Amino acid sequence: MEKIEGMQSSLPRIKELISWEFFRFLLVQGYAQDWKSNASRKAIDPVMMFRMLAL
């Protein structure tokens, strides 16, 4: 539990240090969003997906 509490305090600092929008151009190029139907759910933002994977 202490490990999780320590991570919560470091996440805002990471957000300040890393400019995530810098990666958008590269991520959009490699992120396929070709949908054949409008009935499917919307794609996750590529920058948000990258942040989830990196953290």
Domain locations along the chain? 20-30+42-55
pTM of the model as a whole = 0.62
Q: How confident is the model at residue 54 (pLDDT cuts 50, 70, 90)?
A: confident
Q: Which residue has the higher pLDDT, 9 or 51?
A: 51
Share of the chain above pLDDT 70, in %: 69
CA 41 – CA 55 distance, rounded (Å): 24
- pLDDT tens per residue across span 9-35: 777 888 888 899 999 998 888 776 666
Contact 46, 27 (CB under 8 A): yes
